[in-house]
Structures are given as C-alpha cells and as structure tokens.
Amino acid sequence: MSTLLSATSTPLSASLKAGVQTLSLNRPERANAFNAELIAELQEAFTQAVNDSQTRVIVLTGSGRAFSAGQDIEEMRAGGDSLSYREHLQKSYNPLILQIRQIEKPVIAALNGSCAGAALGIALACDLRFATTETKLVVGFGGIALVPDSAVSLLLPALIGLGRAQYYYLTNESISAEQALEWGLVNGLFTAADFEKEIAAFATKLAAGPVGAFGLAKQTFNKAVLPNLEEVLSAEADFQEIASKRAEHKEGVAAFLEKRRPKYTNDIR
C-alpha cells in the first residue's frame, strides 16, 4: 500500500503496486463528478506521485460504473449568479490539465465507464487512454450551452480532427468505445470483466521501461504538438465566462436537471 492517500480515503483513493500508482475517483454516488475537494485531492495526489521514487507509472480511473461525469453541476449552481466560471477554471481544471502534461512519468487514463465534459479533458491530457467495450465518451458542454474547456477544444481536434470534434460538440452525441479506438481516441479496449487485470498488466510492463526517457519524450511531444496549451486554456476560460452568463446556459442547466429538452430562444444574451 502506498504512503499516499489510503484506500479508504474519499473522494479519492490511491494504491501502489509494482511501481504503478493507481488513483481512483471515489464519488460513485455522483458518477465521480468533480467538485472542489476532489480536484484539490487529485492535484495533491499527482504531486505526491511525482515526488515518490517508487511511483513509475500513474493510472487514473473511477470507482463504480463511471469514470466521471465531469464537473458537478450542483456545486456550480450553489455558487449562484456571482460565480465566475473564468476564475473557477483558472483555479481548478486549467492547473490540473497543465500538471498532467508536465508529469514526467507515464499517466494512463483507465476509462472504466462513461466519461464526459471536463473529465474528457482530463482523460485527453493523459498520455494514454484505455476503455472498456461499454465506455462512452461525451463532449457534453454544448448540452448545457457552454463552450469546451479543460483543453477539450485543443486536445480533441488534435486526436480526431476538427470536423469530428465539432460534430460531437454540436450534437452532444456519445462516441462509442469502438469508434474511439478506430479514431485513436483510446489506445485499447478490454471487456469490463478483464479491465482491471489488463490495465495492471500493461502499466506494470510500462513501469519496467526507461521512465526517465519517457519523461523527456513527453516534453518534446508537448513542444511539438501542444505549444499553445496555456494560451488555449486561458481563452477557454474567457469564452466560458461569457457563455455562463447567458440565458442559454441557465435554460440548459434547468433542462438537464429537469430531464427535459431545453427550449432556446432567439435571445442568446
């Protein structure tokens, strides 16, 4: 067992075995949706994993049947009209995404179930992604009249192309695990029954590799493919602030919570 967070900790648990640090989002009653506490614990767990000489590979997964539904909407509603989405992103997801891309150890997203919204951005920021055959990926933001954040606007088109990324944002349709594999959005699929075993075997094999070189290679990939990551995160925060203040967003959230189709008008302000 790792000296990091104990397995019984909530809302995040951690365990170390054979050089693989597994971090499990642990809010199954909320489909592992992110709130401020979970984001802070995940940032701290990543920091500890970076500084832990025994940790050579990090696996991020979810407890229960979902990886994560993204941001906890109830927490955002509790902030009221005075809540700044820009400030929220600048304090939470933006530094988290940058942190993942700066970790010089392989970070694997083990998508044990549905993955949506900000959680999709977190998964895309990881070095590799594996899914179960039942996993579904949802961009999600358009469903409540927001713009993509958590670097989804950069990372999703980089992996599947701009046209496909825009289609799944505009339609809010889910991407099946098989389609995600075909497009290179995930690196492999396993059955739900074999998922944990297969992830552990792959991560253990990776942990036996030259992790120092892996870290240097990650820096080169960042410079070659994601040199404007910080700039994009900042722009996403600016546009999200605008979108969050509009009537469209309020109607989108109300419809989501009431489980009905939103009724948008010509007034988008």
Q: What is the pLDDT of residue 77?
A: 87
pLDDT tens sequence across 67-105: 999 999 999 988 888 899 999 999 999 999 999 999 999
pTM for the full predicted model: 0.94
Residue 3 in domain: no
**Amino acid type, 225:** V
**Amino acid type, 202:** F
Taken in order 82, 139, 34, 236, is the CA torsion positive or negative?
negative
Q: Does 60 have pLDDT greater than 70? A: yes
The partner residues of 71 in beta bridges, in order of sequence, read 34
Residue 94 and residue 102 in contact, taking contact as beta carbons nearer than 8 Å: no
Residue 209 in domain: no
Q: What is the mean pLDDT of residues 164-190?
A: 98
pLDDT tens sequence across 5-55: 444 458 999 999 999 999 999 999 999 999 999 999 999 999 999 999 999
Q: How far apart are CA 97 and CA 122, in angstroms?
A: 6
Structural domain count of the chain: 1
Residue 201 in domain: no
Residue 166 in domain: yes
By residue count, the chain amounts to 269
Residue 125 in domain: yes
Per the structure, the complete domain to which residue 30 belongs is given by: 12-193+217-257
Residue 266 in domain: no
CATH number of domain containing 237: 3.90.226.10
Residue 206 in domain: no
Residue 4 in domain: no
Residue 251 and residue 264 in contact, taking contact as beta carbons nearer than 8 Å: yes
Q: What is the pLDDT of residue 10?
A: 81
Q: How far apart are CA 203 and CA 195, in angstroms?
A: 12
Between 188 and 10, residue with greater pLDDT:
188
Q: Where are the alpha helices (DSSP H) in 33-151?
A: 36-51, 73-78, 85-91, 93-102, 118-125
Between 268 and 5, residue with greater pLDDT:
268
